[in-house]
Amino acid sequence: MAKITREKFKTQDDVFDRFTQDTIRKLIGQNHFEEDTLSPIFIGKESNVFKAESRRGPVIVKIYRLQTCDFNKMYSYIKNDPRFTKLRKQRRNVVFAWCQREYRNLFGAREAGVRVPLPFAFVNNVLVMEFIGNESVALKVKDDYPLDPKAFLDESLDNMMKLVKGRLVHGDLSPFNILNWNQKPIFIDFSQSMPSKSLGADQLLARDVKNVLNFFNKKGEKRDFDTVYNSLLKELRKNQ
């Protein structure tokens, strides 16, 4: 993967605008990763994901785009989060809150016993977290189907239950947001995650269950939606 240096920052304004460059340098100054080591991994709808080197080894640097993200869509989700009720609908405020939200949700998920990357730091629109993989990042389950799909799905559903017991709903769970690392599921992309008491949490939970089960059902690992969803919903309502 090609390194992205300061010179290349200037040619990628949709990601590396001047404000984001300053934020990156602040995190470098705090020793969260080393200068000129960003290597691209993934381009998403609202963020770009990079690998970087640090004193602790490789880390993930997730940069939420300030200029080209759909901040209206972000706001439509975050406005129902009781932790952000005073958030003003301004582009930078929404993107910064979105980044902070993922950081906080990752900690909440870990406290609930869910296998997720450890978040290290965030500043403004940039999040630094644990790198999952060896030389290359672990693949998503859509690209690396598990050798034992039954065990993998069982553990994924167990992690969903742990999340709900920890008063969180992922909100965007799918084979795109579950890594297969050593034949174990690692949940990622927690920016849309909601406390269980949030408005619409049950609908988000239903979508998560549907996305996960549909993927495995098509591969031959059949589970009944109503059985799985009702079990999770019962626990969700205990924590609302």
Q: What are the residue numbers of the active site?
A: 172, 189
Phi and psi at residue 205, to the nearest 5°: -60, -45
C-alpha 149/C-alpha 134 separation (Å) is: 22
**Nearest residue to 212 (alpha-carbon basis) of 202, 198, 222, 203:** 222
**Nearest residue to 48 (alpha-carbon basis) of 20, 26, 22, 29:** 20
C-alpha 86/C-alpha 234 separation (Å) is: 30
C-alpha 197/C-alpha 77 separation (Å) is: 14
Q: Which residues contact 179 (CB under 8 A, 6 or more apart)?
A: 132, 137, 138, 139, 140, 141, 185, 186, 187, 188
C-alpha 86/C-alpha 80 separation (Å) is: 11
